[in-house]
C-alpha cells in the first residue's frame, strides 16, 4: 500500500469539522475557525490542522482549562502540549495536540484567544516565558522531526535541515544533518529517546514515519 493511502483529506476534513463543533459547544459565545492552508484551500496531504478558538474574555481561563477534555472527547489524545511562551498569558494559549489513530502529520495547533485580544489582532502583554516542568524538549524535537519529513516531501531541503538542527539542539545532541534524511531523522529520534525515555514511543513513531515516507528519497 502506498503511504499516501493513509492520508485521506476527507478523513482530516471531517475530523477538523468535529474539532470546530466541539470547541464552539465548549464555551458559550465562542467561535472556532480554521486557519492556515486548510482555511485557504491550499492544503496538501501532509498539512496539519490549524484552528483559532475565540472565547469571551470572562470565559478565557475556564475554556482554556477545558481543552484537554474537549479534545480527548473527540478522540484519545496521544499528546497535548502547551507552548510555554503563552502559558502565563492573560488572553492567549497555544496548544499542540496529536491523536491516537491519526497520522503524525495531522497535528492540531489550537490558538485560544480572549475576544478582546483576537479582535485587536494582537494579544495583550504577556509574561516572559519561564521554565515549564510540563514542557518536553524531547517531544518538541520530535515534532521538528515530523515537520522535517514534511519539508523533504515538499522538496524544501533547507527547511528540513533547519528543523533538524534545532531539534538536535533541543536535546543537546552534538549532531548535524547530512541530507540522508531517514538516517538524520532516525538519529534525532534516537537522541530524543535518550534524553527523555518517556518519549520512546513517540520516537519510534517518528523513526517509522521517516522510513516509510523517505526511504526512496536520496539527497
Q: What does the pLDDT look like over 71-95, one tens digit per residue?
A: 999 999 999 999 998 988 999 999 9
The answer to whether residues 52 and 91 belong to one domain is yes
Q: Which residues pair with 31 in a beta bridge?
A: 54
- Asked which of 31-40, 41-50, 122-131, 173-182 is least confident by mean pLDDT, the reply is 122-131
Q: 82 lies in a domain?
A: yes
Structural domain harbouring 87: 3-120
Contacts of 13 (CB under 8 A, 6+ apart): 38
Q: 129 lies in a domain?
A: no
CB 92 within 8 A of CB 117: yes
Q: What is the pLDDT of residue 124?
A: 47
The answer to whether residues 12 and 83 belong to one domain is yes
Contacts of 27 (CB under 8 A, 6+ apart): 53, 55, 56, 59, 62, 63, 66
Grade residue 217 by pLDDT with cuts at 50, 70 and 90.
Answer: low
The answer to whether residues 83 and 141 belong to one domain is no
Q: What is the pLDDT of residue 6?
A: 79
> Is residue 162 over pLDDT 50?
yes
* Average predicted confidence (pLDDT) for the chain: 91
Q: pTM value?
A: 0.88
Q: What is the percent of the chain where pLDDT is above 90?
A: 84
Q: What is the pLDDT of residue 215?
A: 85
**Cα torsion at 190, 7, 99, 26 (round to 10°)?**
150
Task: With H, G, I as helix, E, B as strand and everything else as coil, classify residue 7.
Answer: coil
Task: With H, G, I as helix, E, B as strand and everything else as coil, classify residue 138.
Answer: helix
State how beta strands 108-114 and 49-55 pair. parallel
Q: 219 lies in a domain?
A: no
Amino acid at each position: 500500500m502506498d503511504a499516501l493511502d493513509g492520508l485521506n483529506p476527507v478523513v482530516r476534513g471531517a475530523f477538523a469539522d468535529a474539532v470546530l463543533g466541539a470547541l464552539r459547544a465548549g464555551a458559550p459565545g465562542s467561535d472556532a475557525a480554521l486557519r492556515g492552508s486548510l482555511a485557504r484551500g491550499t492544503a496538501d496531504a501532509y498539512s496539519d490542522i490549524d484552528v483559532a478558538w475565540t472565547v469571551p474574555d470572562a470565559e478565557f481561563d475556564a475554556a482554556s482549562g477545558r481543552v484537554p477534555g474537549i479534545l480527548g472527547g473527540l478522540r484519545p489524545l496521544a499528546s497535548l502540549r502547551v507552548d510555554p511562551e503563552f502559558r502565563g498569558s492573560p488572553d492567549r494559549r497555544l496548544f499542540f495536540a496529536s491523536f491516537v489513530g491519526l497520522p503524525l502529520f495531522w497535528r492540531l495547533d489550537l490558538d485560544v484567544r480572549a475576544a478582546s485580544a483576537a479582535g485587536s489582532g494582537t494579544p495583550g502583554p504577556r509574561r516572559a516565558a519561564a521554565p515549564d516542568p510540563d514542557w518536553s524538549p524531547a517531544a518538541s524535537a520530535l515534532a521538528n522531526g515530523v515537520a522535517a519529513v514534511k519539508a523533504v516531501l515538499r522538496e524544501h531541503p533547507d527547511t528540513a535541515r533547519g528543523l533538524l538542527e534545532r531539534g538536535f539542539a533541543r536535546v543537546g545532541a552534538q549532531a548535524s544533518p547530512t541530507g540522508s534524511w531517514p538516517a538524520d531523522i532516525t538519529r534525532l529520534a534516537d537522541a530524543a529517546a535518550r534524553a527523555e525515555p518517556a518519549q520512546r514511543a513517540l520516537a519510534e513513531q517518528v523513526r517509522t514515519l521517516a522510513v516509510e515516507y523517505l526511504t526512496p528519497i536520496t539527497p
